[in-house]
Amino acid sequence: MKKKFDFYSLILATIVTIVLLVVHILWGEVDLGINNLNTLVILPISLIFYLLVSYDLFIEAFKKIKHKQFFDEVTLSLIATIAAFAIGEYVEALAVVVFFQIGERFEKYAVDKSRNSIKSILNLRPDKVTLYNNEIEQVVEPFDVNIGDQFIVKSGERVPIDGIVLKGKSTLDTSSMTGESIPRTIKEGEEIISGVVNLGSPLIIKATKEFYNSTVSKMLDLVENASSQKANPEKFITKFAKIYTPIVIALAFIVAILPPLIIDYSNPNVWANYVRTAASFLVISCPCALVLSVPMSYFVSLGEASKLKVLIKGSTYLDKFTKLKNIVLDKTGTITKGNFKVNKISPENGCTKEDLLELAQYGEYFSNHPIAIAILSDNKEKLDKSLLTNYQEIEGQGIKVDFKDKGLLVGNAKLLRKYNIEFNPVDTPFTLIYVSYDHKYLGNIEIKDQIKETSVKAIDNYHKNGIKNVIMLTGDNEKIAEAVSKEAHVDKYYANLLPLDKTNKLEEIIDSSAKNITAFIGDGVNDAPSLTKADIGISMGGIGSDITIDSSDVVIMDDDLDKVNKVVKIAKNNKLTVIQNIVFALLIKLVVMILSLLPNLPIAPYIMWFAIFADVGVTVICVLNSLRLSLHFKTR
């Protein structure tokens, strides 16, 4: 009710201000006997609507004074309006508070609009959890769920807490968490992260984390607290406003008092001119445009990054992207997919590709090694394990097993040499699995960690965006590292590195390029030390890992390396907008301030209107410029 009253009061006050301005210009000095129209009509009407529109500003100012916050834009504006009333500028006094309130409402609208950019992230917060302990449904608050509790997620519901699926098989919409539009399947025994939506049959899940520690909570915490890490321009504006405001008030009092005392202290017109100048000076100097528009630029930009499924811990890290010159990448899980696939099947001695692959699958049937998983793919259920006997795993070499009562060897070259199998070794940087059956060599299968489809394009774009060096660090051998670096267009690589070696190598790179910003991109688990050491630690995928969010400055929720290029563009556009706002606001204010200090100019009687533009007008323009960032990203 109060909001509606204030809104309609402001509209009416705006109309009255325009009418009074016209009346004041045309008939303000008309003699009505004892008083002129300005005193008899305009003053009381202006005062009534002034109090109607500004009462909440006086309440706000009083509360701030109680907390020893004496100097801000509200205080400046109110002092200026009281001074305007004192010298008979009634319409100008009303106009200041009316346009100030219009500016405040516009600012609120702008903030609310920019907040919508992260609304999809904030909507991930669950309101309730349906517990399913002892197969009894009980709706509770998320914070009431303990580790080990069972809960049910029905079709269309969002998973509220991280856990393991105990019962059920379904498909998940993971787009809100990873940006991946294709639904993925989930079955019993698999881990499930909070924030994804169940599209199929109900799932019974056992909680493996408490709500405050779950994936979606950590994401929400990142988004909601992104403003806590302020960039240098934001810190400067905050400090600037605290120092600048009291200085301006002091200067305004000096302008109002000192010149009249020197020029002609007995002349009321001189006093009126300089009090008007001081009042205008106060309105002009309000730092609203900078205090609001600069943080808003960062807020909009961080929100746009979150739409891309990139969570940035604060605006200070966003600024660092504008100076990014070196990108250091982990290989497995970052450039490559981190899961092995059959890359090439090379049968020999009359064997077909199909038979060679099937023999290899039987040989790897009982193994859980990543290479075995790659060879088996989804065919394990189609194989008849009763055909296998005498299974033996030979460490560091491979598998020896009897298939249909004949010897089957599946492993590396050492395994075949051990059993005197004649074959021609193949030279390749990737993993080779040799297959022999019934003492006869039948061929080999090449296993390769696949490079992500987006990696080459992303790294090419790094170079286009001014990144000087793209460097890969890996624990793999020299041959694999060389092959991957060539395929992915990496500038330089370092191979055979342990996790600690990676951190030491990263420190060397940072030290050798001290003036430039270096980012490290890794999977966020084994690379935690490197993520912490880098100027910008960027974790790829691995959103379910606690250490990912704790160690990195930026979390990319899908595996798209090209998101870094998009964040660089966002950061550069943000920086340009911030500079535009600062230069424009200070320039306009400086010009109008100089004009206000020259009371003999023809525009002197109207300087308060110039002051209103320098305050409210400039603020609105700067805010619109900040919001333009959002429109820019939508139309890219």
pLDDT tens digits, residue range 326-369?
Answer: 999 988 778 887 778 888 999 999 999 999 999 999 999 988 77
Residue 611 region, left (φ>0) first, then alpha (ψ -120 to 50), else beta? alpha
Same domain, 281 and 407: no
Mean pLDDT, the chain, as a whole number?
80
Same domain, 374 and 253: no
Q: What is the pLDDT of residue 633?
A: 57
Q: Name the least confident of 81-85, 221-225, 496-500, 520-524.
A: 221-225
Asked if pLDDT for residue 444 goes beyond 70, the answer is yes
Is 330 considered catalytic here?
yes
Per the CB < 8 A criterion, the answer to whether 481 and 331 are in contact is: yes
Asked if pLDDT for residue 34 goes beyond 50, the answer is no
pLDDT tens digits for 139-167?
999 888 999 999 999 988 989 998 999 99
Asked if pLDDT for residue 416 goes beyond 60, the answer is yes
Same domain, 613 and 531: no
Domain extent for 292: 2-116+228-298+572-634
CATH number at residue 434: 3.40.1110.10
558 — pLDDT class (breaks 50, 70, 90): confident
Alpha carbons 515 and 325: distance in angstroms, whole number: 9
pTM of the model: 0.68
Q: Is the Cα torsion angle 483, 556, 453, 158 positive or negative in sign?
A: positive
Alpha carbons 261 and 246: distance in angstroms, whole number: 23
Same domain, 594 and 547: no
What is the Rg, in whole angstroms, of the alpha carbon atoms belonging to the chain?
A: 35
User: Long-range contacts for 246-255 (Cβ within 8 Å, ≥24 apart)?
Assistant: 246/70, 246/71, 248/76, 248/281, 248/282, 248/285, 249/71, 249/75, 249/76, 249/79, 249/282, 251/281, 252/79, 252/278, 252/279, 252/281, 252/282, 252/285, 253/278, 255/281, 255/597
Q: Name the least confident of 28-37, 136-145, 277-286.
A: 28-37
Asked if pLDDT for residue 409 goes beyond 90, the answer is yes
Same domain, 423 and 543: yes
Same domain, 470 and 352: yes
Same domain, 579 and 612: yes
Same domain, 594 and 489: no
- pLDDT cut 70: percent of the chain above it: 81
DSSP run (H or E) holding 262: helix 232-263
CATH number at residue 177: 2.70.150.10
Same domain, 425 and 353: yes
Asked if pLDDT for residue 596 goes beyond 90, the answer is no
Alpha carbons 119 and 539: distance in angstroms, whole number: 23
Pairing of β 191-192 and β 138-140: unpaired
Q: What is the pLDDT of residue 2?
A: 65
From 149, 162, 319, 330, the catalytic residue: 330
Alpha carbons 422 and 290: distance in angstroms, whole number: 78
Same domain, 165 and 244: no
DSSP run (H or E) holding 585: helix 563-596
* 134 lies in some domain: no
Asked if pLDDT for residue 257 goes beyond 50, the answer is yes
Alpha carbons 281 and 275: distance in angstroms, whole number: 10
Same domain, 482 and 585: no
* Domain count within the chain: 3
Asked if pLDDT for residue 225 goes beyond 60, the answer is no
3-class secondary structure, 469:
strand
Q: What is the pLDDT of residue 108?
A: 66
Same domain, 529 and 603: no
**What amino acid is encoded at 253 in this protein?**
F
* 284 lies in some domain: yes
* 566 lies in some domain: no
The pLDDT of 612-632, averaged and rounded, is 79
DSSP run (H or E) holding 634: helix 618-634
Per the CB < 8 A criterion, the answer to whether 335 and 329 are in contact is: yes
